[in-house]
Structure 1
Amino acid sequence: MEFERKRYSHSHMNIAPLVDVVFLLLLFFMLTSSLVREPAVKIRLPESRTAATEHEAIKTVIITREGAIFFMDREVSLSGLQKAVIEGLNDRKEDSLRIKADRNTSVGLLMKVIDEVRLAGVRNFSVVTEKTP
């Protein structure tokens, strides 16, 4: 009695559609995600051992070493800062703001900026520092 041997066919899975779907998902998330970009103003932040990491996108006032003031990626004067902050935070429910001042900025200028921010109605603000190792 002769038995017939079973022939096993090796089945292969075609992964080309899977690769297409993965690339489409990657493209979708790259196009729909919004990246938070810091303005191209070069400043050296003061250092602190208790500095916290940033978790959310909060509008920022930047003071350079030369005393230039930037808010929402545009340079503003000290006298125009209050108006710019009021207009910039008008659409937001929360009134929080970050102040990034170069470590060589004078304390007097920093205090003037804080005064203008307070006059604009901002009660919750923080001065950003870098955490030291």
Structure 2
Amino acid sequence: MSIKRKRRFHAEVATSSLSDIMFFLLLFFLIISTLANPNVIKMTLPKAKSNEKTNKQLISLSVTEDKKFFIDKEPVDFENLETSLMSKIGADKEQTVVVRIPFNLQVQDLVDVLQIGVKNNLKFVIATSPK
């Protein structure tokens, strides 16, 4: 004689709290993504096919279209750029300086900035945007 149950056991997963967790994660990532790089001045960068990302401690050197210079959002005159940059770097000559320069500025403006790095034996990297 076989005995059959009329009510079968069904496994359930409570998903009511998952939507709350997803909402909080979404808010967290939105807030963190806006704070990802606060030392950057908004500008249109030159485009490149390959783009390398780094996680090192960097110093940001930005040049605007009207040739104003900023070191980590602090305005600096071009005459004082070298001394300000060397004081920001200090004794750690292994730090990398990221040069952010608009795509429509003249090449000579970029060369003038890069000559400071050559003169002081510093590592300079030009920031680009993906193609």
TM-score, length-normalised on structure 1?
0.62
- The runs of 4+ residues in structure 1 deviating greater than 6 Å are none
CA offsets, 1:31-64, max 9 Å, x none? Answer: xxx843233443443xx44332423251121111
Any idea what SS the aligned residue of 2:37 has?
coil
Q: RMSD value over aligned CA atoms?
A: 3.8
Q: In structure 2, do the counterparts of structure 1 residues 41 and 77 end up closer, same or farther at CA, with 3 Å as the change threshold?
A: farther
Any idea what SS the aligned residue of 1:75 has?
strand
Percent identity, aligned pairs only, is 12
User: Can you give the 5+ residue segments of structure 2 that lack an aligned partner in the other structure?
Assistant: 1-34
Structure 2 counterpart of 1:37? 38
- C-alpha deviation, 1:113, in angstroms: 0.8
Structure 2 counterpart of 1:107? 107
CA offsets, 1:56-83, max 9 Å, x none? Answer: 2511211111111111211111111101
Contact 1:96–1:123 (Cα < 8 Å) also in 2: yes
Any idea what SS the aligned residue of 2:70 has?
strand
The structure that has the greater radius of gyration is 1
- C-alpha deviation, 1:91, in angstroms: 5.5
Which amino acid counterpart does residue 114 of structure 2 have in structure 1?
I
Q: In structure 2, do the counterparts of structure 1 residues 122 and 100 end up closer, same or farther at CA, with 3 Å as the change threshold?
A: farther
Any idea what SS the aligned residue of 1:104 has?
coil
User: Can you give the 5+ residue segments of structure 1 that lack an aligned partner in the other structure?
Assistant: 1-33
TM-score, length-normalised on structure 2?
0.63
